C-alpha cells in the first residue's frame, strides 16, 4: 500500500504525510533519533527505499554490501501494510539513542528497542527484539 501526500499516518503524528515525514524523505535531516525512527517507519510505508538505505549506519550489522539485493528486500517488505506505530520509550545520549516501539505491520506486532548512532546526522544502527 503506497502513501499519497494527503494520507494521514504512519508515524502517528496525525498529520498528513506531506506535512510530516515527507520532508525527511526529500532530504531534510531529522533533528533527533525519534524523528528518524518515525520517518523510517513511514518511509517503509511510502516505499522510500533509498531513505532506509541512507539512514542505516554504514557500520551497522544490518547494512548490506549488496545494495541492489538489499533494496529489493526492503521493497518487498515495504509492500506490507504498515498500520500503526506506538512509541513506548525514547532515550538519548550525546551520540547514541534508543527508541522502543511497537509497530503494527500486517498481522504481526514488532516490538523492538532500536539503537541509533550519531555521526554528523543520526543513523539507525541495530535493534533488539522484545517479546510483546
To Zn ion, the closest distance from the beta carbon of 11 in angstroms equals 3
Q: Does 36 bind Zn ion (CB under 5 A)?
A: no
The reply to whether 20 sits near Zn ion by the rule CB under 5 A is yes
Using CB under 5 A as the binding rule, whether residue 43 contacts Zn ion is answered as no
C-alpha distances (whole Å) from 7 to each of 25, 61, 63, 68, 73 are 15, 33, 30, 29, 24
Distances (CA, A) of 122 to 26, 35, 58, 119: 16, 10, 12, 6
At which residue does the C-alpha cell 517488505 appear?
77
Please name every residue paired with 8 in a beta bridge, in sequence order, or none if there are none. 16
By beta-carbon proximity to Zn ion, the closer residue of 3 and 21 is 21
Contact 30, 39 (CB under 8 A): yes
Q: Which stretch binds Zn ion (CB under 5 A): 11-19, 50-58, 110-118, 122-130?
A: 11-19
Which of 13, 32, 60, 80 contacts Zn ion by CB under 5 A? 13
CB of 64 to Zn ion, least distance (A): 26
Query: Does the footprint of Zn ion cover residue 11 (CB under 5 A)?
Result: yes
Amino acid at each position: 500500500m503506497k502513501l499519497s501526500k494527503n494520507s494521514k499516518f504512519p508515524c502517528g503524528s496525525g498529520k498528513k504525510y506531506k506535512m510530516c515525514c515527507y520532508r525527511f524523505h526529500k532530504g531534510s535531516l531529522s533533528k533527533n533519533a525519534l524523528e528518524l525512527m518515525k520517518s523510517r517507519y513511514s518511509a517503509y510505508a511510502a516505499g522510500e527505499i533509498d531513505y532506509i538505505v541512507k539512514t542505516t549506519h554504514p557500520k551497522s550489522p544490518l547494512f548490506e554490501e549488496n545494495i541492489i539485493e538489499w533494496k529489493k528486500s526492503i521493497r518487498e517488505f515495504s509492500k506490507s501494510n504498515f498500520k500503526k506505530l506506538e512509541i513506548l520509550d525514547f532515550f538519548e545520549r550525546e551520540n547514541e539513542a534508543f527508541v522502543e516501539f511497537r509497530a503494527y505491520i500486517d498481522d504481526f506486532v514488532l516490538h523492538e528497542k532500536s539503537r541509533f548512532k550519531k555521526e554528523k546526522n543520526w543513523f539507525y544502527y541495530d535493534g533488539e527484539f522484545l517479546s510483546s
